[in-house]
Amino acid sequence: MTLAPSSLVGSARRRRSGGGQSRAGMAFVAGYVLLLIAFGVLPTGYAIYFAVTDSGGSFTGFSNFVSTAQDFRFVDAVGHVAIYLVFWLLSLVVFVVALALLLHRLSSGRASKALRFLYYIPGALAGAASVLVWLFMLDPTVSPVSSLLGALGFHTFGQVIAPGNLPLLFAMVAFWTGAGGWIVVMYGALNNIPTDVMEAARIDGASAWQTAWHVQIPMLRKWIVYMTILAFAGGAQLFVEPQLLSLASVGVAGTDYSLNQLTYDFAFQMNNVNGAAAVSVELLVVSVAAAGIFVARSGFFDAD
């Protein structure tokens, strides 16, 4: 059996087209790969090198990890970050999904556009600027919500930023800054749910709550996992909030409240770059391990 000339020409064209698309895809990805190697892989390798050597470059194994873990501030810093992550991740998952669902319910009116804009405004501020705004809001002497703070029993700035309140305060700042972008992302994911699925739920008599719980939230599962992974990695690197609060409150939060602050202290106050690198590598390992657990337990890469 022989192919007609037209079939041979069509097959050749398809091969050329496929090859061109493949080359275009590789060129598109190449820029990202180069940046990833330059600003991700190489610095990570450099940090690992410092973590397993001393100031003279001699191999020391895990001694830097052991010495930093034995520092009297290390366990406290781990506990602070862990408590903060609990508040941060729970508030992010619960309120972002809830607000995205509410926004989706209002999608037919002008209120939806206004809310999307308002949610996104705080994300336009840099982390340091957001903290400064919150420092102003939390000082009862100048805050526009001083009456609310007084009703809650806070009459001085020192009472508001008491050490026991800091994880919740930092979670509030992080949520205010980062949740808006995720709400918009979740809203877009909700818009991608097939209309026939939503119509079937309505025909079956499902209420808004039942539709959200049994249809929309399960179909957002991978987006929620993705958000949780990135939020965990970012939250574990808590630094700007306690650092600025420490400066504004004359050391109430401390310069070693978080692990990143401790890393900064090792590197620039104690001139122990190797110890700082060891803590950084530990943070990387924990973040990668947590991401692996989230992905494995959620079936993130499973085909729907």
Domain formed by 71-298, architecture: Orthogonal Bundle (1.10)
Q: Is residue 125 over pLDDT 90? A: no
Task: Enumerate long-range contacts of 56-62, CB under 8 Å, 24 or more apart.
Answer: 60/274
**pLDDT for 109:** 61
pLDDT, tens digit, for every residue of 37-48?
A: 999 899 999 999
**pLDDT for 280:** 94
Contacts of 241 (CB under 8 A, 6+ apart): 127, 131, 169, 170, 173, 174
pLDDT, tens digit, for every residue of 20-34?
A: 677 887 888 888 899
**pLDDT for 8:** 47
Q: Mean of the per-residue pLDDT values for the chain?
A: 84
Contacts of 140 (CB under 8 A, 6+ apart): 146, 149, 150, 154, 155, 156, 157, 160
Q: What is the spatial distance between Cα 11 and Cα 9, in angstroms, rounded to a whole number?
A: 5
**pLDDT for 32:** 86
**pLDDT for 289:** 93
| More confidently predicted of 263 and 113 | 263
pLDDT, tens digit, for every residue of 184-231?
A: 889 888 888 888 988 898 888 888 889 989 899 999 998 999 999 999
Residue 28 is which amino acid? F
Q: What is the spatial distance between Cα 273 and Cα 291, in angstroms, rounded to a whole number?
A: 27
Q: Is residue 175 over pLDDT 50? A: yes
Q: Is residue 35 over pLDDT 70? A: yes
| More confidently predicted of 83 and 55 | 83
pLDDT, tens digit, for every residue of 277-300?
A: 999 999 999 999 998 988 888 777
